[in-house]
A and B are shown apart, each in its own frame.
Chain A
Amino acid sequence: GAVVSQHPSRVICKSGTSVKIECRSLDFQATTMFWYRQFPKQSLMLMATSNEGSKATYEQGVEKDKFLINHASLTLSTLTVTSAHPEDSSFYICSATHRQTLNYGYTFGSGTRLTVV
């Protein structure tokens, strides 16, 4: 089945540094990638949607200059948290869609737990 590989699974960084999270679709072309953030015991919250070769569309309240998303190829999307602060500590997860006729399946990465100290 479809697989999305997400790395790293855990990262601890110092406040003010940047962290890059990668999501790769291993056996299909991810036409659209979604990036979510999840706080403890809460639902996934959509941060942005990216289509290959286009600029990402950010949800209201998400700073596009802080959360840089790149989707340069059909198999790779990255999320960079710039100038990270402790309040950015969260679980980040990506999800990719792959078209199957009229149905759109979603494959999720395994998530990245970011801790900013």
Chain B
Amino acid sequence: KNEVEQSPQNLTAQEGEFITINCSYSVGISALHWLQQHPGGGIVSLFMLSSGKKKHGRLIATINIQEKHSSLHITASHPRDSAVYICAVGGSNYKLTFGKGTLLTVNP
């Protein structure tokens, strides 16, 4: 069993829809990261959070430490949001453990 589980694996949405991607983890963490990987491969760090909620533009990330669960929300989705979204958890040794990613496709 992976230490970091993401759902869904694939998600197709219409432009404008509200999107939620979930992440559950089974290990103790110092922080949880949401990453975005575009088709070319480059990775952008979207959020790093250890409690509560963070918002950046149309993106919102929440984490519940007690339940070991995090969600990434995208409001008013756009085709340019199409990418793989990866949840990763970091421990005290700085190493990240990655989920398998969620492939999001937003159709116009």
A residues in contact (CB < 8 Å) with B:
32, 34, 38, 42-44, 46, 49, 91, 93, 95, 97, 103-111, 113
Given A42-B100, A104-B31, residue A110 in contact with residue B41 (CB < 8 A): yes
Q: Is the CB of B42 within 8 A of A49?
A: no
Q: Given the complex, which residues of A lie within 8 Å of B99, measured CB to CB?
A: 43
B residues touching A (Cβ–Cβ < 8 Å)?
30-31, 33, 35, 40-45, 48, 50, 86, 90, 94-96, 98-101
Q: How far is the CA of A97 from the CA of B93 in the complex (A)?
A: 12
Closest 6 CB pairs of A and B: A108-B43, A110-B42, A111-B41, A43-B98, A44-B98, A43-B100
A-side contacts of B96, CB under 8 Å? 34, 44, 46, 95, 106
In the complex the two chains form, what is the Cα distance from A103 to B50 in whole Å?
10
Instruction: Kindly list chain A residues whose C-beta atoms are within 8 Å of the C-beta of B98.
Output: 43-44
Determine if B48 and A49 form an interchain contact, defined as CB atoms under 8 angstroms apart: no
Residue from B30, B35, B41, B94 within 8 A of A49 (CB atoms): B94
Are B94 and A103 in contact, CB atoms less than 8 angstroms apart? no
